[in-house]
Structure 1
Amino acid sequence: MRVLVVHNFYQQAGGEDVVFRAETALLRRHGHDVQTFMVSNDVIGQTPRLRAAAQTLWNARMGQQIEHLVREHGSEIVHFHNTFPLLSPAVYGGARTAGAAVVQTLHNFRLLCANGLFFRDGHVCEDCLGQLPLSAVRHRCYRDSLSASTVVAAMQTVHHAAGTYRDGVDAYIALTEFARDKFIAGGLPAERIAVKPNFLEASPGPAAGDGGYALFAGRLVPEKGVETLLRAWATLGGTVPLKILGDGPLAPQVEAATRQLPGVSWLGQRDRAEVLQLMQEAAFLVLPSEWYEGFPMTLVEAWGVGLPVVGSELGALGALIEPGRTGLLFHPGDADDLAAQVLWLWNHTMERQQMRQLAHKTFQASYTPERNHEQLMAIYAGALEHFDSTAWR
């Protein structure tokens, strides 16, 4: 199969960048003829603001470029990972006009929410779900900018009204059933949204988990529940050692906590090999997210090494983690509940070891490259079938 894989990279690398690379490599390993097209947000500062705003709504040049690449490559499928803001929805028309079916992975909630997170002022917010995104403009939800939020809200409104998201995409990929339900509520066609989770290219496998510490790995931002994490460990009073991996705006608070809270250490940003090694040695992972996570790669990596996860019972995490089998759940934002779940898991060694085995079995059943390729091929087949049934050529 000939596939063109397209991605707009963010200035701050995220999970979608990892998935883009992994999925591209996966397709090539299975013998598909794959080409890639990438743009980076690094060039945004070089573009006049009015032009950048107009291109976010409709970048005709990018649409034409995708059309040219499809014709040149003979692509049957164009798989988009992210089109915001440089590519714009114009690329869907370019791909389909040239004769390729369009697949769009929904890594975040950008089509429904200006900041892509359903998170505002420290809490979940669905004000714009199924509504005109006036709240996003009023609250300056995109980069705390009135003008930028207006542009994103205009993009959403125009393309929902014009049917771009309904008619321009042959198959959508949601990462979880929870996310699929949100996109259906937001107006995307249910029959064209398949669920395919993220996967791990290679895992070092399970280990004993005898390092004697709990682990947090992720960006140090409010929506990741970092402040709740620190409050919980203040309650624990040094009972459970904690290693924190990552960097971000809350780094000063984390650094201060390491001086005030016994047993808490901050290791900063580490490469993937080090992260996996620390996961192998950890007793369990803590994911205290306070937003609707898409499908965090840290969760897949944890289960790949047989690491149980203590996560918030919110959105995808609440649906993915099986309490007592692959981890434990706590009420989001509740530091006391988090501390109680952490302490229980820390003190129940036998149950924790059983969870390690079940977590790894879950990974082998659902999150391997082989399983992911099977799912992806089924989605591509559905996209081609839908494309063939439409008149747009």
Structure 2
Amino acid sequence: MAPIRVLIVHNFYQQPGGEDQVFKAEKTMLQEAGVEVIEHTAHNDGLNQMGPLKLAQVTLWNREAYRQMRALAAQHKPHVAHIHNTFPLLSPAVYHALKAEGVPIVQTLHNYRLLCLGATLLREGRECVECLGKSIPWPGVWHACYRNHAASSVVASMLVLHRLLGTWAHKVDRFIVLTEYERSVFAKGGLEANKITLKPNFVHPDPGAGTGQGGYALFVGRLSPEKGIDVLLEAWKGLDFPLKIAGDGPLGPQVAAAVQSLPQVEWLGRQPREQIFSLMQNAAFLVFPSITYEGFPMTLAEAFATGLPVLASNYGSMSQLVRPAENGLLFEVGNPADLAAQARWLVGHPNELLAMRQKARLEFEQRYSAKQNLHMLLNIYREAAGSRWPALAQ
């Protein structure tokens, strides 16, 4: 196979998340397949050294990031660039830098930032699409959907500026979405439908299936309002089945207080990925009570990889990824009573739960393994690169 050079680009958040895991997993997968990977990253820890005016300026257009990206592209001449996140330090200036050097661009849409200031299509715990289709996302500024009014104004200005410049309309050759649900939302939001390609997340390396004999339910994720923590804790007030909560975040104090009166609930705090896999392999089922749209949560892919059935909100992408009685169950979003009822059913039907475990693992093998994902990703790169793609590359 002719050598392929791919430039991968990512702006890490201060709190690690699924996007970071996908970036690292795809990098490893490509390298193991013999692809030459050039990496360019920024980390939001750098925000701590910036004043508000400087941060606003780099969010709209980071001149240094533009210069660095042009130099990197000129030096390595990648066949394609794959951007995961530019917010806020890299800024959309990097798209223009890559195109100035003639590099085709693939963009993974991990969240809804191009359509929503808060990136979640959620406001005050409820679905919000007020900015969808608007050339100026003024409702998001009015409601201070990103941190506060000043920060929301900066993000809105960034979106307006780069819509006017045609950054996403003309600089990106292919968009990757993680579910069909996402594809429909972004098409409604104005992205060119024939540029949007579906490629789900995956897990690499394969952690292997577990036995699920630990006798507990498991929650894994950030302890924040959109993840449905309130719903989870309320549901477990009426359950005597053990629950382990792995994660940290702004609602950590609330969880710590709640477990004092819920002896069946254990808060483990943030855990390393290896320990998360171990917890998943031994859990009876995963609880995913998110009240936001989500994209393709890595937690779900990891659960399937370990053969762990998922009890999830019947909302957004979760309603497509979790198939009742196949790889898990669904409950009414935001409804703790229904969550508790479905959890009781799982606990009371061990044979059906075992069958779900086997089907969850099979789904991972067929859809979310590195082997399947590599083939899809290289096809997307080839389509984006066109004549720039190496003639003998497969």
TM-score under structure 1 length normalisation:
0.95
> Contact between 1:5 and 1:37, CA under 8 Å: does it hold in 2?
yes
Q: Which residue does the alignment assign to 1:233?
A: 236
- Distance in 2, Cα, partners of 1:30 & 1:329: 37
| CA shift for structure 1 position 52 | 2.1
Q: Which residue does the alignment assign to 2:199?
A: 196
Deviations along 1:235-278, one digit per CA (max 9) or x if unpaired, are 22x1x111111111111221222221231111111111111111
User: Which runs of structure 2 are paired with 1:210-289 in the superposition (5 Å)?
Assistant: 210-236=213-239, 238=240, 240-289=241-290
- Distance in 1, Cα, partners of 2:102 & 2:67: 13
> Contact between 1:308 and 1:355, CA under 8 Å: does it hold in 2?
yes
> Contact between 1:129 and 1:186, CA under 8 Å: does it hold in 2?
yes
| CA shift for structure 1 position 386 | 8.8
Indicate the SS of the match to 2:40.
strand
- Distance in 1, Cα, partners of 2:334 & 2:292: 10
Out of 185, 188, 210, the residue aligned to residue 188 of structure 2 is: 185
| CA shift for structure 1 position 53 | 1.1
User: Which runs of structure 2 are paired with 1:167-186 in the superposition (5 Å)?
Assistant: 167-186=170-189
With over 3 angstroms needed to count, the CA separation of the structure-2 counterparts of 1:251 and 1:47, relative to structure 1, is: closer
Amino acid corresponding to residue 366 of structure 1 in structure 2: R
| CA shift for structure 1 position 6 | 0.8
| CA shift for structure 1 position 181 | 1.1
Out of 130, 143, 163, the residue aligned to residue 139 of structure 1 is: 143
- Distance in 1, Cα, partners of 2:388 & 2:186: 21
Alignment of 1:68 with 2:64, yes or no, is: no
> Contact between 2:206 and 2:369, CA under 8 Å: does it hold in 1?
no
Identical counterparts, % of pairs: 49
Alignment of 1:54 with 2:57, yes or no, is: yes
> Contact between 2:105 and 2:174, CA under 8 Å: does it hold in 1?
yes
| CA shift for structure 1 position 387 | 7.9
Q: Which residue does the alignment assign to 2:158?
A: 155
Q: Which residue does the alignment assign to 1:314?
A: 315
Amino acid corresponding to residue 37 of structure 1 in structure 2: H
> Contact between 1:76 and 1:99, CA under 8 Å: does it hold in 2?
no
Alignment of 1:115 with 2:118, yes or no, is: yes
Deviations along 1:100-130, one digit per CA (max 9) or x if unpaired, are 1011111111111111111111112111111
- Distance in 2, Cα, partners of 1:321 & 1:387: 39
TM-score under structure 2 length normalisation:
0.95
Deviates more, 1:40-49 or 1:371-380: 40-49
Deviations along 1:290-327, one digit per CA (max 9) or x if unpaired, are 00111111111111011100000111111110100000
Amino acid corresponding to residue 134 of structure 1 in structure 2: W
Amino acid corresponding to residue 199 of structure 1 in structure 2: F
- Distance in 1, Cα, partners of 2:263 & 2:66: 55
How many residues matched?
A: 385
Out of 31, 38, 42, the residue aligned to residue 39 of structure 1 is: 42
> Contact between 1:170 and 1:386, CA under 8 Å: does it hold in 2?
no
With over 3 angstroms needed to count, the CA separation of the structure-2 counterparts of 1:387 and 1:108, relative to structure 1, is: farther
Q: Which residue does the alignment assign to 2:392?
A: none
- Distance in 2, Cα, partners of 1:169 & 1:90: 12
Q: What RMSD over aligned residues (CA atoms) do the two structures have, in Å?
A: 1.3
Indicate the SS of the match to 2:154.
helix
- Distance in 2, Cα, partners of 1:156 & 1:52: 15
Amino acid corresponding to residue 94 of structure 2 in structure 1: V
Mind listing any 5+ residue stretches in structure 2 that lack a counterpart?
390-394
Q: Which residue does the alignment assign to 1:293?
A: 294
- Distance in 1, Cα, partners of 2:230 & 2:334: 9
| CA shift for structure 1 position 18 | 1.0
Amino acid corresponding to residue 257 of structure 1 in structure 2: A
Runs of 4+ that moved beyond 3 A = none
- Distance in 2, Cα, partners of 1:48 & 1:288: 37
Indicate the SS of the match to 2:296.
coil
> Contact between 1:210 and 1:283, CA under 8 Å: does it hold in 2?
yes
| CA shift for structure 1 position 177 | 1.0
Q: Which residue does the alignment assign to 1:341?
A: 342
Q: Which residue does the alignment assign to 2:8?
A: 5
Amino acid corresponding to residue 259 of structure 2 in structure 1: T
Indicate the SS of the match to 2:200.
coil
| CA shift for structure 1 position 60 | 2.9
> Contact between 1:225 and 1:290, CA under 8 Å: does it hold in 2?
yes
